[in-house]
RNA sequence: GGCGCGUUCGUCUAGUGGCUUAGGACGCCGCCCUCUCAAGGCGGAGAUCACGGGUUCGAAUCCCGUACGCGCUACCA
């Protein structure tokens, strides 16, 4: 058992989309695996046929791949412990349940849904814990055989001995104890022949040689059932680590009702995968220092389960926006260029075709002023098409009586220069101001307004230079015409 | 109801008995820089460490109780 390779799994059920909480569970599993030079396995828990959603599996895998959390083994990659879809492992569960059946660790139950419902209701009314009453445990082998021969529907239940303490050591919470009196005789095999999560996950984790089960806190209550199963099979138990939940603003478990929870929603909103991963990594974990900005490899190097928190964390995206801007600024202009071009293709605005060199100038000028790639378009549309209106507030504040004359002077000055450089724009403007004995702002502000229609943006000489001589002159003329009237 | 888990600024968190008048980050506010907006720098407001008892010379930190929150309580995962 020494130096056993670390093997962890992310085991989602394909119900439509990857939940942000699921992404964090996957991330922690991935980080733990990579930190320990182990394997990250993707296993699909598709044992509930009622919840089958077409296309969910592909969506799940592609979203995981987008995030860069690619599995070392899984339905897509394959591996020697496959198949990795539980719906394809039915024979395996069938053979294992026999083992439990002959040892009386599991038993057939022929109770109808109605009986079960009535039983539950009665227990509830009496204020008792709702629990199966082991009614079918007393069936003789002969009765069972007859029922089976008559094709009565049945489930197979875990036979839990009463009055015993079951404990396990959770890597995050320490020792957790449950008494078997509070645990129900869980259904292991459903009437459709499919296993329940509780049975399949134990069998698979064992067969796939999973060393650490890292999953959400909502599983902590059912862990004793799993522990019991390992004991009944006489299998070595994996380590358990139950992660704190991601919460809604009202502290309930993060859900669709209170905002976007699908990873693809955040991808579509323009969040960088590195920023999203960085953000959710910090929701429940920190290295013990003040570091907040992490790239993937740094996350892998610093991660440890010991430093995962016990309490839930509200999924509040304020900090996510900031992290997105931080990650965006760390990207090279060329990397941003590719994303911007994609964004330009997707945009519905009619815009002129700009060269890569031109786009690179825009990126450089705007990099410090945006948080999202799409803002290279939305926060500075004037780079792509001339303004059609001019901010009234700015006109009121900055447009003075002498503004038209100054702009005209500037326009004429630029017009005389062949291929003006950024410095040419600057010296032209400064010379005018010196000559007229006025502050630079007297010209800069009206000029910005004329060129962009707004009062905010990158440095004025960046703006003029990126727009270029012809466009600058043209826009000054147009502004003069419109604003004066 | 039962069982389990949790509880430090609005939010994410540091803190593992004295270094703490509880530190950082986001957000918010102010100042500086400055052609505007950002970025950056500086500063501010913001937490009686859920509450009550212990233990100890000393507790956010250890123990007990209470409250509150959350999770589970299915032939769903």
How do residues A160-205 score in pLDDT, each as one tens digit?
999 999 999 999 999 999 999 999 999 999 999 999 999 999 999 9
The answer to whether residue A324 is domain-embedded is no
Is the pLDDT at A81 greater than 60? The verdict is yes
The answer to whether residue A438 is domain-embedded is yes
Residues 157-186 of chain A sitting with CB below 7 angstroms of strand B: 173-174, 176-179, 182, 184
Which one of A286, A317, A348 terminates a domain? Answer: A317
Are residue A335 and residue A481 in the same domain, yes or no? no
The pLDDT value given to residue A387: 93
Interface confidence: ipTM more than 0.90: yes
Q: Which helix (H) or strand (E) holds A8?
A: strand A7-10
Q: Which nucleotide is nearest to A218 (CA to C1')?
A: B71
β pairing state of A187-189 and A155-158: antiparallel
Q: Which of A104, A256, A310, A341 is catalytic?
A: A256
Backbone phi, psi, residue A8, to 5°: -125, 160
For residue A158, what are the β-bridge partners? A106
Are residue A121 and residue A213 in the same domain, yes or no? yes
Q: Which nucleotide is nearest to A306 (CA to C1')?
A: B16
Is the pLDDT at A2 greater than 60? The verdict is no
Q: A379: domain CATH number?
A: 1.10.8
Residue A482 confidence class, pLDDT cut points 50, 70, 90: confident
Residue A349 confidence class, pLDDT cut points 50, 70, 90: low
Are residue A58 and residue A156 in the same domain, yes or no? no
The alpha helices in A189-295, defined as continuous H runs, are 197-207, 223-233, 263-268, 273-281
Is the pLDDT at A354 greater than 90? The verdict is no
The answer to whether residue A456 is domain-embedded is yes
Domains held by chain A: number? 4
Residue A350 confidence class, pLDDT cut points 50, 70, 90: low
The pLDDT value given to residue A401: 87
Are residue A303 and residue A419 in the same domain, yes or no? no
Q: Which nucleotide is nearest to A283 (CA to C1')?
A: B12
Nucleotides of B under 7 A from a protein CB: 1-8, 10-16, 23-27, 35-39, 69-77
Residues 240-279 of chain A sitting with CB below 7 angstroms of strand B: 244-245, 247, 250-253
The CA–C1' separation of A279 and B9, in angstroms, is 20
Q: A422: domain CATH number?
A: 1.10.10.350
> From the C1' of B75, which residue's alpha carbon is nearest?
A190
Q: A197: domain CATH number?
A: 3.40.50.620
Are residue A54 and residue A16 in the same domain, yes or no? yes
The CA–C1' separation of A253 and B5, in angstroms, is 13
Are residue A379 and residue A428 in the same domain, yes or no? no
The CA–C1' separation of A175 and B16, in angstroms, is 17
The CA–C1' separation of A385 and B71, in angstroms, is 54
Is the pLDDT at A1 greater than 60? The verdict is no
β pairing state of A174-179 and A165-170: antiparallel
Is the pLDDT at A292 greater than 70? The verdict is yes
Are residue A404 and residue A460 in the same domain, yes or no? yes
pLDDT mean over A374-391:
93
Token pair for residue A61? 């895998």
User: What would you measure as the largest C-alpha separation in chain A, in angstroms?
Assistant: 111
Backbone phi, psi, residue A77, to 5°: -80, -30
The answer to whether residue A322 is domain-embedded is no
Is the pLDDT at A41 greater than 70? The verdict is yes
| DSSP track, A384-448 | TS--SS--HHHHHHH--TTHHHHHHHHHHHHHTSSS--HHHHHHHHHHHHHHHT--THHHHHHHH
Are residue A348 and residue A415 in the same domain, yes or no? no
Backbone phi, psi, residue A117, to 5°: -65, -45
Q: Which candidate, A7, A14, A29, places its Cα nearest to that of A216? A: A29
Beta strands in A143-299, from DSSP E residues, in sequence order: 155-158, 165-170, 174-179, 187-189, 212-216, 239-243, 246-247
The pLDDT value given to residue A338: 95
Residue A258 confidence class, pLDDT cut points 50, 70, 90: confident
The pLDDT value given to residue A97: 97
Among the residue ranges A206-220, A254-268, A324-338, the one predicted with the least confidence is A254-268
Proximity of residue A321 CB to strand B below 7 A: yes
Are residue A484 and residue A454 in the same domain, yes or no? yes
Which are the contacts of A218, defined by CB distance < 8 A and separation ≥ 6?
A245, A253
pLDDT mean over A333-343:
95
Proximity of residue A102 CB to strand B below 7 A: no
> From the C1' of B69, which residue's alpha carbon is nearest?
A251
Are residue A147 and residue A212 in the same domain, yes or no? yes
Q: Which nucleotide is nearest to A319 (CA to C1')?
A: B26
The CA–C1' separation of A413 and B23, in angstroms, is 57
Is the pLDDT at A3 greater than 70? The verdict is no
Is the pLDDT at A453 greater than 80? The verdict is yes
The pLDDT value given to residue A485: 63
Which one of A263, A291, A317 terminates a domain? Answer: A317
The answer to whether residue A232 is domain-embedded is yes
pLDDT mean over A281-287:
96
Average pLDDT, chain A: 93
Proximity of residue A456 CB to strand B below 7 A: yes
CA distances from A429 to A106, A411, A426, A446, A471 (A): 88, 10, 5, 12, 16
The CA–C1' separation of A215 and B51, in angstroms, is 32
Which one of A189, A220, A243 terminates a domain? Answer: A243
The pLDDT value given to residue A373: 96
Tens of pLDDT, residues A21-40: 999 999 999 999 999 999 99
The answer to whether residue A326 is domain-embedded is no
The answer to whether residue A99 is domain-embedded is yes
Regarding predicted confidence, which is higher, A401 or A286?
A286
Which residue range forms the structural domain that includes residue A391? 386-485
The answer to whether residue A323 is domain-embedded is no
pLDDT mean over A135-164:
94
Are residue A34 and residue A95 in the same domain, yes or no? no
Q: Which nucleotide is nearest to A254 (CA to C1')?
A: B70
Are residue A168 and residue A237 in the same domain, yes or no? yes
Active site residue A256: yes
Q: Which nucleotide is nearest to A189 (CA to C1')?
A: B75
Is the pLDDT at A430 greater than 90? The verdict is yes
Q: Which candidate, A175, A213, A216, A239, places its Cα nearest to that of A313? A: A216
Tens of pLDDT, residues A85-129: 999 999 999 999 999 999 999 999 999 999 999 999 888 888 888
Q: Which candidate, A265, A205, A208, places its Cα nearest to that of A237? A: A205
Is the pLDDT at A423 greater than 70? The verdict is yes
3-state secondary structure of A229: helix
């Amino acid at each position: 058992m020494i130096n056993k390779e670390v093997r962890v799994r992310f085991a989602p059920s394909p119900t439509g989309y990857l939940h942000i909480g699921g992404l964090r569970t996957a991330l922690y599993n991935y980080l733990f695996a990579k930190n320990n030079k182990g394997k990250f396995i993707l296993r699909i828990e598709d044992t509930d046929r009622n919840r089958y959603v077409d296309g969910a599996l592909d969506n799940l895998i592609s979203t995981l791949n987008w995030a860069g959390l690619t599995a070392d083994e899984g339905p897509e990659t394959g591996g020697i412990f496959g198949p990795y879809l539980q719906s394809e492992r039915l024979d395996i569960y069938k053979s294992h349940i026999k083992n439990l059946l002959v040892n009386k660790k599991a038993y057939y139950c022929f109770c109808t849904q109605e009986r079960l419902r009535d039983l539950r209701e009665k227990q509830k009314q009496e204020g008792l814990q709702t629990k199966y009453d082991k009614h079918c445990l007393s069936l003789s082998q002969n009765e069972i055989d007859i029922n089976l021969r008559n094709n009565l529907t049945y489930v197979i239940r875990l036979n839990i001995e009463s009055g015993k303490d079951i404990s396990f050591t959770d890597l995050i919470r320490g020792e957790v104890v449950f008494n078997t009196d509070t645990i129900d005789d869980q259904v292991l095999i459903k009437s459709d022949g499919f296993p329940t999560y509780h049975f399949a996950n134990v069998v698979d984790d064992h067969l796939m040689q999973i060393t650490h089960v890292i999953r959400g806190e909502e599983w902590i209550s059912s862990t004793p059932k799993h522990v019991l199963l390992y004991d009944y099979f006489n299998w070595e138990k994996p380590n358990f680590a139950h992660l704190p939940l991601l919460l809604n603003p009202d502290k309930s478990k993060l859900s669709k009702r209170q905002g976007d929870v699908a990873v693809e929603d955040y991808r579509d909103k323009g969040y960088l995968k590195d920023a999203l991963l960085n953000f959710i990594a910090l929701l429940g974990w920190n290295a013990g220092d003040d570091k907040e900005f992490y790239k993937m490899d740094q996350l892998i190097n610093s991660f440890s389960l010991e430093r995962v928190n016990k309490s839930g964390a509200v999924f509040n995206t304020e900090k996510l926006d900031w992290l997105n801007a931080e990650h965006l600024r760390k990207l090279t202009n060329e990397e941003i260029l590719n994303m911007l071009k994609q964004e330009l293709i997707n945009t519905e605005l009619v815009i002129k075709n700009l060269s890569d060199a031109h786009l690179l100038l825009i990126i450089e000028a705007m990099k410090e002023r945006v948080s999202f790639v799409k803002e290279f378009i939305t926060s500075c549309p004037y780079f792509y098409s001339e303004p059609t209106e001019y901010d009234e507030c700015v006109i009121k504040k900055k447009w003075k009586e002498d503004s038209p004359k100054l702009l005209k002077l500037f326009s004429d000055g630029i017009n005389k220069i062949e291929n003006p450089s950024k410095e040419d724009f600057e010296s032209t403007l400064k010379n005018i101001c010196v000559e007229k004995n006025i502050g630079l702002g007297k010209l800069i502000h009206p000029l910005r307004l004329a060129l962009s229609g707004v009062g905010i943006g990158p440095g004025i000489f960046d703006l003029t230079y990126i727009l270029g001589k012809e466009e600058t002159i043209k826009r000054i003329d147009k502004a003069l015409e419109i604003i004066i009237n």
